[in-house]
Amino acid sequence: MSARPTTLAEIFPEPPADLDREALDLAAIPRHVAIIMDGNGRWAQARGLDRGEGHKAGIRAVREAITTCNDVGVRCLTIYSFSTENWKRPQDEVKGLMTLFAETMSAEVKGLMAEGVRIKLLGRTDELPLATRTVLCGAEKASESNTGMTLAIAINYGSRTEMADAARSLAADVAAGTLRPGDIDEAAFEQRLYTAGLPDPDLLIRTSGELRLSNFLLWQLAYAEFYITDVLWPDFDRYELLRALLAYQGRNRRFGEVK
C-alpha cells in the first residue's frame, strides 16, 4: 500500500492558478464537515444523460471528498445521501440509488477499512431495502472499532424525524420511570439523536447553489459555518473542497459572543 500524502503539495498537487494551497492551515482544519451533495441530476441533464449517470458520477466525487478530508485531518465527514423525502422520486430512480449504494459500499469497504475509517449510519436504516441495509449495516459493524476518520452516511434521514424519534425515546423513559422530566436538557436530547457521540459540524458545504438546509441536521448545524457553491456535486473535486476549507478558515467564529 502506498503511503498517504501528508504535505499540501501531495494532497493538492495541481491547484488552479487562483488557489494558494499553502494558505491552508492544517492545524485549523474543521473537525466535522457536513455536505449536502446536490446537482447530480442537473449535471446529467446538461450532458444529455440519464439521471442515474449523474448519481454514478456523484459517487466519484464522494470518493474524492472522503480521501481528501481524511488526508487533511478532518475527523468526521457526514454526507447527505438520501433523505426521507427522496422516496417520492420516480421508483426507477430510487431503486437504482439503493442498488448503487449497496454496490458502492461493497466495492469501497475494503479500502475504507485499510484507512481506518469508521462508518456510521444516520437515519431509519431499518426501512431500507434488505440488500442495501445488509451491506451498509455490515460495513458499519465491521468498522466500529476503527479509530480513523468517521464517515457518517445520512441515508433515509430527515432531521425532523430524527428529533421526533429522540423525543419519543425520552418520553418512553419518562413513562417507564427511568428518567425524570427535570433531567431532560440539551445533552440528554443530543444523546438520543442519530448523531450521538459525534461533534457538531463546524462546516456545512452545499453544492449546486441551493440556499436551504433540506431537513438536514437542523439541531446539529446551530453554529456551523455555511459554504455554498454553484458547482454541481459531480464536479466538486479536491480543489473545490480546498476553496471551502480556505473560506472556513477566513471566518470569525463567535458562537454568540462578541469577539
> Which residues are known to be catalytic?
38, 86
Place of cell 431495502: 129
Report the distance separating Cα 154 and Cα 84, nearest Å: 10
CB of 150 within 8 A of CB of 77?
A: yes
Distances (CA, A) of 90 to 51, 75, 95, 96, 118: 11, 35, 9, 10, 32
Residue positions counted in the chain: 259
Q: How many angstroms separate the most distant Cα atoms in the chain? A: 63
